[in-house]
């Protein structure tokens, strides 16, 4: 999609932005819309490669990166401190980091449950807290967009930990929006269902992907940039009266 300067002059932080998934697509779309970005990811090598590729295309002054594991509070703090040092503050935060897995409840271990919850829900909480502290102190408003999932609304075998985490992200979004409205910050979320990227293809069986695809209204999975377009909308002035909303980017919202 061509850019329209919707985010010109804005500074955005995007987590889990290395690679070809929703985070990477969002970073690219933000650059196309005129923003300068700070990208974080737990995979340092892949993150640096992503930064270099985007800098070559959009200019070295438009993109910086810092490794960030959202389960580590010190690394979260470092990411937001870096955004403030490098760009004098921030305007938009996209909390994209999440981790899935498949295990039926009777077989699920405490570690499987805790790991998914810590990355997907607790990580979103840590980044939301850091972002709101920064935006509240700056006093110039701002926007947060969280990556939830339609699975936070509907049930799926083997996904209790991921569904619980994404339902928690939805509830966190709504509560944060009520609190942040007092200082002019909006907080919304997107809820994709099936957005294809190489990592998903590696960790999900072809049979399951085919089954999930047939349930989609268009008979195909979403491309990551199609989710990123909705994130751009929520980050831009076009959604200036929206807060506390979870926007389904799928027909699978119930």
pLDDT for position 232? 98
Q: 93 - beta bridge partners? A: 13, 144
Catalytic site includes residue 162: yes
HSE (side-chain half, CA atoms, 13 Å) at 244: 9
Q: How far apart are CA 132 and CA 109, in angstroms?
A: 33
Q: Which residues of the chain have pLDDT under 50?
A: 201-202
Specify whether the CB–CB gap between 29 and 229 falls below 8 A.
Answer: yes
What's 11-239's CATH class? alpha beta
Query: How far is C-alpha 125 from the geometric centre of its chain's CA atoms?
Result: 12
Q: How far apart are CA 182 and CA 184, in angstroms?
A: 6
Stated pTM of the model: 0.92
pLDDT for position 201? 46
User: 114 by DSSP, 3-state: which?
Assistant: helix
Encode pLDDT of 54-99 as tens digits. 999 999 899 999 999 999 999 999 999 999 999 999 999 999 999 9
Q: How far apart are CA 51 and CA 40, in angstroms?
A: 10
- Placement of tokens 């072809």 in the chain: 206
Best CA proximity match to 223, nearest among 245, 204, 249, 202: 249
Specify whether the CB–CB gap between 96 and 16 falls below 8 A.
Answer: yes
Specify whether the CB–CB gap between 92 and 12 falls below 8 A.
Answer: yes
Best CA proximity match to 42, nearest among 92, 90, 94, 99: 99
pLDDT for position 212? 66
pLDDT for position 196? 53
The CA-CA-CA angle for residues 132, 111, 117, to 5°, reads 25
Q: How far apart are CA 18 and CA 25, in angstroms?
A: 9
Q: 246 - beta bridge partners? A: 189
From the list 162, 183, 221, 238, the catalytic residue is 162
Specify whether the CB–CB gap between 10 and 209 falls below 8 A.
Answer: no
pLDDT for position 202? 47
Query: Cα dihedral sign for 82, 84, 88, 89?
Result: positive
């Amino acid at each position: 999609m061509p850019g329209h300067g919707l985010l010109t002059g804005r500074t955005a932080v995007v987590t889990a932005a290395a690679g070809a998934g929703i985070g990477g697509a969002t970073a690219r779309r933000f650059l196309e819309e005129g923003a300068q970005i700070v990208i974080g990811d737990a995979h340092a090598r892949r993150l640096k490669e992503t930064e270099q590729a985007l800098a070559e295309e959009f200019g070295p002054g438009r993109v910086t990166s810092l490794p960030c594991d959202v389960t580590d509070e010190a690394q979260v703090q470092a990411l937001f401190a870096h955004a403030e040092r490098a760009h004098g503050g921030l305007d938009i935060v996209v909390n994209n980091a999440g981790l899935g897995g498949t295990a039926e409840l009777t077989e699920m271990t405490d570690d499987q449950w805790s790991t998914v919850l810590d990355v997907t829900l607790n990580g979103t909480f840590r980044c939301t807290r850091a972002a709101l502290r920064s935006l509240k102190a700056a006093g110039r408003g701002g926007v947060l967009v969280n990556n939830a999932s339609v699975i936070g609304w509907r049930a799926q075998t083997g996904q209790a930990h991921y569904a619980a985490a994404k339902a928690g992200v939805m509830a966190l979004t709504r509560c944060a929006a009520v609190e942040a409205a007092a200082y002019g910050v909006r907080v919304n979320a997107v809820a994709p269902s099936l957005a294809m990227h190489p990592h998903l293809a590696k960790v999900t069986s072809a049979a399951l992907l085919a089954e999930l695809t047939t349930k989609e209204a268009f008979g195909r999975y979403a491309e990551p940039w199609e989710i990123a377009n909705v994130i751009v909308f929520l980050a831009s002035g076009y959604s200036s009266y929206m807060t506390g909303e979870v926007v389904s980017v799928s027909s699978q919202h119930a």
